[in-house]
Amino acid sequence: MEPTRRTVVAGAVAATAIGVADLVGGPSAQAFGSGGLLSPTPVPTNQVPALRYGSRGPSVTALQQRLNALGYWVGPANGTFGLLTRQGVWALQKAAGLTRTGILTPATHSALARGVRPVPRTRTGTVLEIDKGRQLLLVVVGGRLRYALNTSTGGGFWYRSGSGLARATTPTGHFSIYSRYTAGWQNGVLGAMWRPTYFYRGWAIHGSSEVPPYPASHGCARVRPDAMDMLYAGGWVPVGRSVYVYE
In a shared domain, residues 112 and 222: no
In a shared domain, residues 96 and 64: yes
**Considering the entire predicted model, what is its pTM?**
0.83
pLDDT in tens, 99-111: 999 999 999 999 9
In a shared domain, residues 178 and 161: yes
Contacts of 56 (CB under 8 A, 6+ apart): 79, 80, 81
Report d(CA 170, CA 22) in Å as an integer: 40
In a shared domain, residues 46 and 112: yes
Q: Is 139 within the bounds of a domain?
A: yes
Give the residue with greater pLDDT, 235 vs 50: 235
In a shared domain, residues 200 and 225: yes
Of 54, 89, 117, the domain-final residue: 117
Of 117, 149, 180, the domain-final residue: 117
Of 87, 117, 147, the domain-final residue: 117
Q: What is the pLDDT of residue 245?
A: 98
Longest CA–CA span in the chain (Å) reads 64
In a shared domain, residues 72 and 111: yes
Report d(CA 1, CA 53) in Å as an integer: 38
In a shared domain, residues 145 and 236: yes
- The CATH number of whichever domain residue 146 belongs to comes to 2.40.440.10
Q: Is 112 within the bounds of a domain?
A: yes
114 touches 16 (CB < 8 A): no
DSSP states of 2-26 as a string? -------EE-SS---PPPHHHHHTS
132 touches 143 (CB < 8 A): no
The DSSP letter of residue 58 is: H
In a shared domain, residues 151 and 204: yes
In a shared domain, residues 44 and 92: yes
| Dihedral sign from CA coordinates of 186, 192, 194, 197 | negative
pLDDT in tens, 47-78: 667 999 999 999 999 999 999 999 999 999 99
Please state the rounded mean pLDDT for residues 147-173. Answer: 96
Residue 111, CA atoms < 13 Å, CB-side half-sphere: 26
Residue 70, CA atoms < 13 Å, CB-side half-sphere: 33
Task: Write out the residue range of the structural domain in which residue 240 sits.
Answer: 126-246
Q: In 85-202, which ranges are E strands?
A: 116-117, 126-131, 136-141, 144-150, 158-161, 164-167, 173-176, 179-180, 185-188, 191-200
Domain count, the chain: 2
pLDDT in tens, 74-96: 999 999 999 999 999 999 999 99
Q: What is the pLDDT of residue 36?
A: 34
Beta bridge partners of 200: 203
In a shared domain, residues 87 and 193: no
CA 196 to chain centre: 17
Please state the rounded mean pLDDT for residues 159-187. Answer: 96
Report d(CA 243, CA 128) in Å as an integer: 5
Residue 38: exposure state from Cβ atoms within 10 A (0-12, 13-18, ≥19): middle
